[in-house]
Each structure stands twice: as C-alpha cells, then as structure tokens.
Amino acid sequence: MDISIDDILAELDRDTTIVERSDPSSQVPLTSDGNTTMVNSSFDPGQIPLRKAGLQDDITPEKDYTRLMTLWRNERCSPELLPFPTLLMNRMLRRVQEQMEKIENISMGFYEDGAAGPSQQPNESAFGSNKDKLPLLCMEAELERVKFVIRSYLRCRMHKIDKYMLYLKQLEYAGNNAASLKELLSEQELVYHSRHFASLLKLFNSSVLRHMPPELQAVNDTEGSISMVDEPEWGRFVFLHVKMPSERALKEDPLLERNEFGKPCYIVTIQELNEDVELTVGGIYVMRYEVIRDLLRDGKVELI
C-alpha cells in the first residue's frame, strides 16, 4: 500500500524555510505599476507575517530587473502602448543613481590606496589593487546593461507615442478616459506628447492646412474616406509564450482548464472566426493581439 506523504512533507518544508518561495509568480505580478500585494489590516494575525515576507520577497532588485526585462520585451512586440510602470521605474532609476554614486566612491578609494600603498608594502598593494578591480568592473558592466534596457524601453515607448499621437489625443479629449492617459504615460511622456503634438500641428497649420477650405482643416478627421487617426492594429499577430503558472494559480485560476491530455491550458475565442483555441501552458503560439490582450495584462503570457 502506498501512502503519499508529499503534502505532509511540503507542510514541514514551509515551517523550516521561513520565507515562502513556493509561488513567486502568483502574487499578481505585472500589475503594471509594480505595486503588488497591499498589506491589508483586516487579515487575521496568523496571516500577516507571511504576507510581509511575501511583500519583501517580491520587491528585490533581481525580481524588479526580471520584470523590467519582461516589460521591455512586451513593449517591443505589442502593437499598442502598454501602461507605464511608474513605481517599478522609480525604483530602477533610484538604484541606478545609487549604484553610480557607489562606483564613484569606490574608485575614489582606489586612488587613495594607490597613493598611500606603495610607500608601505609595494608588493601586496599592487597585487591587491589588481584583484580589487574585478568587482568594480562587474558593477560598471552591469550598470551599462541596466541603462541599456531602460533606454531601449523608453525609446520604444516614445516611438509609439509618436505613432499614436492623434489616438492618444482622442483618449485625452474623451473626458471619461482622462485618467487612463495618465496611467498609460509617465509625466515626462505626457509633456513630450502634448508639446510634440503642438509643434507638429503648428508646422502643418502654417505650411499647408491654412490654405485648405475650413472643412478640410482638421487633422483628426475620421469621417472622410480614410480615417486620419491611426489606431493600434488590434488584430495584429504576435508571437507569445504561455507562462507556467504557479502552484496556487494552477488550482485557483478560473481561466485555466484541462485539455484531453491533462495539460493545463487557457481557452480563448477568436471572435471573427468563431473559433476556440487552447493555449497550452509552456507553448509558443502566433496569435492575434486582441485575443490575448487580457491574458497579457494579467501576466499570464509574455510576448517574444
């Protein structure tokens, strides 16, 4: 007779390792602002320490960087402008700043050592400083890598802001969606958007548009033969990878279902073709963006 004791062992494991690491990706990752798990005061006392551990565990430099990489890749592949991760970006920029200062400080220390060292023990200090360059090298190389990702991410967003200028303007004018534009763009991007729009409009107006009859002067005419407002192509195809959900999500996620092979999968519907598609966990698909948009927002799939 076989008695399965896996769950009992798991229970024991959880006691010995204080920090719960079993489901790193379950606590609503990519809520797009990096602001996860709010500590709610109405939790029962036994729950709070666990929650706190989860919270601290969640915001580590490594996780933030992984999240930034995912956001960067999603932004590069998706046809629409994704919401700006304000908190995550603040944390990243602060860390870059601190790291730069730290490198500065350490390299200052090098000069002092080099000046003072040779007089006392020339052999050892020469050897020592040579060895000590390595950490500095690593830190500088890493800093360059982080800066590259952030730069590429922001440039990609600026490209999309240029492209969807009129569409974003429309969102702004629509009134009820004014708040949504604020969370879609960062403060600097908002400034860039409005100023770039103003200067471009001025150029068009002064060079061409003022010679037109009044009914043809609008730059955002959607009534004419061709709509002037470029919307994101919602139906554009993208490559996506279905992420492995965590243990807890496996049981609780209402969207997850099992297919005939027993593998978990999400079922999505392509409305235009009236077709259901199973997205098996771990698979790579080419799919229309509008179909998987909600899954992407929830961080269940990532674009590649």
Instruction: Give me the residues that bind another protein (CB under 8 A), please.
Output: 61-62, 65, 69, 73, 76-77, 95-96, 99, 102, 106, 109, 113, 128, 131-132, 134-139, 141-143, 145-146, 148, 152, 155-156, 158-159, 162, 170-171, 173-174, 176-177, 220, 222, 227, 229, 233-239, 270-275, 277, 280, 282-288, 290, 293, 304
Minimum CB distance to another protein smaller for 20 or for 113 = 113
CB of 22 to another protein, least distance (A): 19
Start-to-end Cα distance in the chain: 47
Minimum CB distance to another protein smaller for 145 or for 248 = 145
CB of 42 to another protein, least distance (A): 30
CB of 12 to another protein, least distance (A): 26
Which single residue is written with the structure tokens 């960067």? Answer: 72
Minimum CB distance to another protein smaller for 41 or for 176 = 176
Minimum CB distance to another protein smaller for 11 or for 231 = 231
The answer for residues whose C-beta is within 8 angstroms of residue 56's C-beta and 6 or more apart is: none
CB of 247 to another protein, least distance (A): 22
Minimum CB distance to another protein smaller for 174 or for 191 = 174
On whether the CB atoms of residues 287 and 249 are closer than 8 A, the answer is no
Give CA–CA dist 277/216, Å, rounded.
45
Minimum CB distance to another protein smaller for 1 or for 115 = 115
The answer for residues whose C-beta is within 8 angstroms of residue 92's C-beta and 6 or more apart is: 64, 65, 68, 146, 150
Give CA–CA dist 61/96, Å, rounded.
11
Long-range contacts of 95-102, Cβ-Cβ distance < 8 Å, separation of 24 or more: 95/61, 95/64, 95/146, 96/143, 96/146, 96/147, 96/150, 99/139, 99/142, 99/143, 100/143, 102/139
